Every structure is written in structure tokens, then in C-alpha cells.
Amino acid sequence: MTSFSDLNLDPKVLKAIEATGYTTPTPIQKGAIGPALLGRDVLGIAQTGTGKTAAFTLPMITLLGKGRARARMPRSLVLAPTRELAAQVAENFDTYAKGSRLKKALLIGGVSFKEQDRLIDRGVDVLIATPGRLIDHHERGKLLLTGVEIMVVDEADRMLDMGFIPDIERIFEMTPFTRQTLFFSATMAPEIERITNKFLSNPEKIEVERQNSTSETITQVLVEHTPKTKAMAAKDKRDILRAIIDRDKALADNPLRNAIIFCNRKVDVDIVAKSLKKSGYNAEPIHGDLEQSHRTRTLDGFRDGSITFLVASDVAARGLDIPNVSHVFNYDVPSHAEDYVHRIGRTGRAGKLGTAYTLSVPSDQKYLDAIESLTKSTLPRGENPWSPPGAAGARPARNEVEEEEATAKRSTSRTRSRSRKPVEDKTAEAPVSAPAPEAPKGDAPRAQTPRNAPHKDDRQDRDASDARTGGRSRGGRGRGDDRGPRVVGLGDHVPGFIEMSFEERRGES
């Protein structure tokens, strides 16, 4: 059996590894460390939780042991798709670089540029960054990548999902052609393969498990539900989620101790977390719209056990080393099949048992088909422990969150109903010849004459003509005409030309 001491690592690195309690390298570490120490490019394909971070961190520390960094010119570069993953790489570097004089800098969003610039100006051996923040520093003239000796791309398939591939290509072009490249991904999409063919030179390919496979230590369960209406799907799934949590806490095998609950949308992350908290569960949300300091505190709380349920978007699905997660819930079926593999990979790590539930409704069928096609297996169907309305058993009472949502929907419905109600034409009820109210005495303002009102003399002539002809002199629209009264609503200020008729007089040829 191979041990770390057989991999020609620096003695200081071996001492740091021994302090962590690890003695045997994982398959990806065993396959990648040797070629990396020889200066070869490495292409590593392995699912999450297999030790990929140490597979590139350990040889980097050994190779960078000799040399000195210059200001604004890092000697190595590690690219990660999310702030959390970048911070995790930095933690691993601190753990394994004890005893060395190597310096690092972490460039991520949500942190002051000034502090990051100060670190870069001192010179760093290892620069760990997200693509966007790295390009920002480079465009501001604060960073040069011409001295990079080793470049690492971690979770490349996640970079693809987040739209970072153009940024990755641009960063590759900023670095020297002679650099050593270590490229790691859980899956090999065609676009990822194109990148590796373009920027890696005769890489050593290590594929430790079947591509897109799931760990055998994870029990997968699909819970299907058909709501009465589409609008009730989200509410029903929250009820099912709480029912499964309460049931699995009492299990003899792998009881629920904590869980990560994944949602597809940030707004659903907040809703589910608030619903669980209102029901008495210790839950907190984490997604990309939260401040970095808040996200860090939430992750630390979940790791140390002060937070039991982490409701997350896919920002927490890739690469995060969160040990001892007993359960994972896919509150929403992921729209990308690869995300299913990474989500459930948060449990069942390091040989421990884990359970992954997926809650689905009929509209999720196409996503389930894609997942089963990718993993080449059928998701086992499980029992739904929640009784829907109308079935045997009482429906759980709605908590305050659901009551607030129902109230908001009723209020919105009433508002829309009022906005659609037709406005009454009060002028239709007014008498045709209603006398004008007497003007108040005193300094009251004079009433303004309408712009199109006829002159007073014109009105008198018109009224006299109506009296002689019964209104027919103006087209038969007077009150004495047998075709009905004049048009209601315009009052006595109807211009004469509007009431003119061009029809032939009755009885005339």
C-alpha cells in the first residue's frame, strides 16, 4: 500500500500531513502527486470528496520550496469557481505549508481591494482567486501573471456552468507558455475537453472513478408527489421535507444529525430557511446574494454543529469540504444533471454513510430522466411520509410563514380585482337639463368657460330654432325628435357641427 512518504514530498510537507492524521493518499492523490512533482501537466477527473485539493496543494508546496516571490508577480495561481471553494483551498494551504516560508494571498469578491493590493505588493508565492476578482486586479494594473510557474484550475466543470470559461481562456493567455498546468474536474464536458486540448501539453490523465458516478456509500431516495394544483407544489414539498426530517431523526442506521437542503433559486432558499426556522428547526440560508462575511459565518456554524440545517443554492454544491454531513435534500430537482452528482456528494464522504433525498413533482420528469441517463442508474423510489389534504390523517397546521404567504396572495388578488372594476359613468344618471349650481357670493373664483363652448348668442339662436323645429334643424338630435334625446354626457356645450346630420330629410327627395 502506497503512503505519503513514498511520493517524494518535502519532509516539512510530510510532517504537516502527519499532524492532520492522514497516512494513506486517496486514488486521485496517488495518481496526481507523482507526475506533478516531475513537472508534467496533470488532468484529474474525480468526483467531489476524493481529495483533489490536496492532490495539487501538496506538490505545489514542495515545488515552490525554493525561490522567492517578487512584488505583484505571484509564482503560482489557483483558480476556483466560488469564494467558498477558494477560501477552502487557502485553508488547506495553511494546513500543509506549516514550517515553510511560502506566502499566499486570497483574491475573492466581498473583500476590500485595498487589503488584497497590500498583500500582492509584498509578493506572494501562491495566489488563490476567483476569475472575476483576478481579472479586476489585473485590469487595474495591480497584478502581473508573467511570473506564474504553476497554474491550477479546480472544479473546471463548475467554471463551465457558471460561465467562466471565456475568463479562464483569457487568464491562460496572460500566463507564460512554459507554465505547468494542473487541471481538475468532476466531469468532462466537450467544452472542458476543448480547453484541455488547447492549453495542456501532453497531460498525465488520472481518472479514479467512472465519470459521472455516485458514491456507493450514499443511499439515494426519490420521493414523488403530485400536488392538487401547481401552485401548491412548493407548500407541499415543505411539508414533506419536515415530515422526512422528523422521521429520519429516529432511524437506527444513519440517523439524521444535520443536512444540506439544496434549492434551485435564491428566493426559494430564503423561503425554505424561514419556513424551517418558524417551525422550530435550526436552519440558516446561504447563497450568492449574501455578504461574504455572513456566508463564512454560516459555513463555520454548520461545520461546528451550531447550525443543523444549511439551506443552500448550488454555490455550496461544489468542492466544499464539510465533513460528517448525514443527509442531503434536493428540495428542487437540479436542472443540470451534473449538479445532482455534486449535491449528493456532500454526504457519504471519506467512507462514511450518507442519505440523499430528492423531492419531485410531475413537472420534474425531464430532469429526472437526464439524471438517470447521466448516472446510468434508476433512482430508487421511497415512501412519502406526509399525508396530503383529503388523505387519511390530518394535514399539518400551516406555520406562520405559510400564513403570511396566503395572506399576501389574498391581498394581491383583491388589489387586482379592484383594479379591473369598471369606473361608473356618473354623468349618465344626471338629468339632461340639470340647472347649474348658483355661484357663491364673495371672492369665489370665476368659473372658466370651456374652450369649445359656443358663444352665448349662438346658444340662444340654437335654442330658438329647436323650439320651432323640434330639434330637427340640427339633424334631429334635439329633445323633441322621435329618435330619442340628445347624447348624454356633453351637457349644453355641444358644438353645433357635432350634432349636424348629413342624412336626407325624411319626406324630401
For 487, residues 6+ apart whose C-beta sits below 8 A from its C-beta are 477, 494
pLDDT at 478: 44
pLDDT of residue 381: 95
Strand partners, 129: 79, 107
Which three cell numbers, joined as nine digits, stand for 252? Answer: 437506527
Q: Please report the pLDDT score of residue 418 as a whole number.
A: 54
Domains defined along the chain, listed by start: 4-207 (3.40.50.300), 218-412 (3.40.50.300), 452-509 (no CATH)
Buried/exposed code over 426-464 (b: 16+ C-beta within 10 A; e: otherwise): eeeeeeeeeeeeeeeeeeeeeeeeeeeebeeeeeeebee
With a cut of 50, list the residues of the chain below it in pLDDT. Answer: 393-398, 400, 423-434, 436-437, 439-447, 449, 451-452, 454-458, 464-465, 467, 469-481, 483, 507-509
Helix and strand counts by DSSP (H, E) for the chain = 16, 13
Question: How confident is the model at residue 92, as a pLDDT?
Answer: 92
Q: Looking at residue 429, what is its pLDDT?
A: 46
pTM: predicted TM-score of the whole model, two decimal places? 0.64
* Residues 347 and 354 sit within 8 Å (Cβ to Cβ): yes
pLDDT of residue 276: 97
